[in-house]
Amino acid sequence: MMTIQAIGTFTQLSLIFGDAQHIYNVVVAIVQLSSLVLPIWLEDKNNDGIVDVFEKEITTTIKSDSPITIKTETENK
């Protein structure tokens, strides 16, 4: 992600100083934005091998200081 940002920034500066058409700046900006957003969307917090966005069921376990563990299951529709 950081590599794409560094390359994108260098490319953006090259396009600006090279007086390129604005469409190329927009394309580079979209690629940079995608490199920031995609890792957030494709995150797998529960490490079950399925991207969390595509899971139909999300299981959350909440632990308290008492010896009781509360387990709640919700289903996305």
Supply the pLDDT for residue 69: 66
Q: What spatial distance separates the first Cα and last Cα of the chain, rounded to whole Å? A: 31
Supply the pLDDT for residue 58: 64
Residue type, 55: E
Cα pseudo-dihedral 21, 26, 28, 33, rounded to 10? 170
pTM value surpassing 0.75: no
- Decide if pLDDT at 72 tops 60: yes
- Decide if pLDDT at 3 tops 60: yes
Which of 26-30, 39-43, 62-66 has the lowest average pLDDT? 62-66
Supply the pLDDT for residue 76: 63
